[in-house]
Amino acid sequence: RQAEFVAAIEAPVVITPWRSLLVCDLAEGVADTSLRVLAPMGLVFDENSRWLDVTACVGSPGCEKSLADVRAEATRAVSEDTAGGQVHYVGCERACGSPVSGTVLMATEDGFRVRGE
């Protein structure tokens, strides 16, 4: 649904490696309307959002090797503001999508632990 609304804007869109969208060359009124429609759908427009520091692999149910729903855990951490700094949640030892810097929290049978410890 989000993709349909972004496509309806009829402007150049760039998808970045950081899971961000750049919608280019918008008139001010179109940008304002886009923000009012897309923000309630879950797209982040606030440069101070905790979501800019929290990421996750696919996790379960999308990955059969994952021990946890890491996206739900990331959502919980953002909503409770318990994640400090850059944090990436992974569901198994493969640690898919892990960034070069920041903390990687890996799912275990007993919860999460910092990867490498």
| pTM, to two decimals | 0.77
Give the H/E segment covering residue 22.
strand 21-23
Quick: pLDDT tens for 21-48: 899 999 999 999 999 999 999 888 888 8
CA atoms within 13 A on the CB side of 34: 25
Domain hosting 88: range is 50-114
Ranges of residues in the chain with a pLDDT under 70 are 83
Together in a domain, 18 and 69: no
Residue-level pLDDT at 3 = 87
Give pLDDT, residue 98. 92
Does 64 share its domain with 86?
yes
| Number of domains within the chain | 2
pLDDT in the model for residue 83:
61
Same domain (yes/no): 58, 99: yes
Tokens 């949640």 found at: 89
Q: What pLDDT is recorded for position 16?
A: 85
Structure tokens at 58: 């696919």
